[in-house]
Structure 1
């Protein structure tokens, strides 16, 4: 049995990759800091590095690090980083490395001791392979935190969101809330899609609508927070 994390927090997953998980996670970290809490972002695995000022780094990890009010190193935010931008298990194989599941749990627990609020961002969608035995859903299950689903608003999002919610529920986890993030600015019938998500996710799982984020010229944490529901966030992080 994995011991509970020392800090309050949530696990942020998405309907797919590139749907805004990192931006939403950064906004949640900023909100936690605004409450006077030491906030820490944690991304167990990151795939895709770029060179900035002579240093190899991952943009998502940098975003979480900058949004955290606790002072963290890249390695504390993300214990496993890989060069290739692909599925974590494949990226690890390309480098002859293995993503050790227990090391991920230990890193999260160590970070939770330094924070009052921990926002853990998953990798891609909810069930992404990490190694031969484990996937990201196993990781969320081990942490046991309430789950926030970022729904990429584009054609097909209803199916993707409901399948993900079903998978979260099947793992015995609480889908606490969801955020609709605009991926396709030209998507037709957005309000009808949002209304369907509100009804289905609330009726079936008790998941609260935390907000709808439009396309923003500067998707910084403060800009995203203007589109999230403070009352919903208070319930999310209540202990």
Structure 2
């Protein structure tokens, strides 16, 4: 299986696992989640993972229960929770595992190294007669921010929250296996500075106005975000500050 396939499958697996975990908690604590306020929170959590899952499934992905998943989340009754756990998520994951075996190895093109979370959006944009590079970057920035918040439980992706999550002492996301030596502390601090730099240089400017952007700028930006997504994916959760 190629590296591209491994990274893509890991992303699909993560979202399927979270869907099963969240729906499983609802089954266990069904009386709690039958209350309307809690049910709304449950739906929001399920929708977030379903949306992220849809974003990384390619156009030629085999027919699956992704539509059933959306319907079950929309109704979100106890039977729907069982369907998500027993049928929807397992079906999507099983087909993703088979699909990943057929993904061609990397051709060595730079686009092949764009993170799976962003690659399908990039490919769709590049097929358009007049690609909207600004919209592509803004969408991918939002996706990276969502990954950061979901993995860390952070309230937002502000400089303060990024600093709190990646701080050297008692971090929420630990980048090296331990943060004791000077090199390990530099790695931890470097992840924080890279994330804050991305926010200041890419996310905020593109969120506030349409910036001049071309295809080369987009690829360079997506490579930076791919590196950050890889760091977040590999980081260990030391302490959770909120439900995913």
Q: Normalization by structure 2: what TM-score? A: 0.33
Q: Which has the higher contact order (CA 8 A, sep 6+)?
A: 1
Which structure has the bigger radius of gyration?
2
The structure carrying a bigger helix percent of its residues is 2
The structure carrying a bigger strand percent of its residues is 1
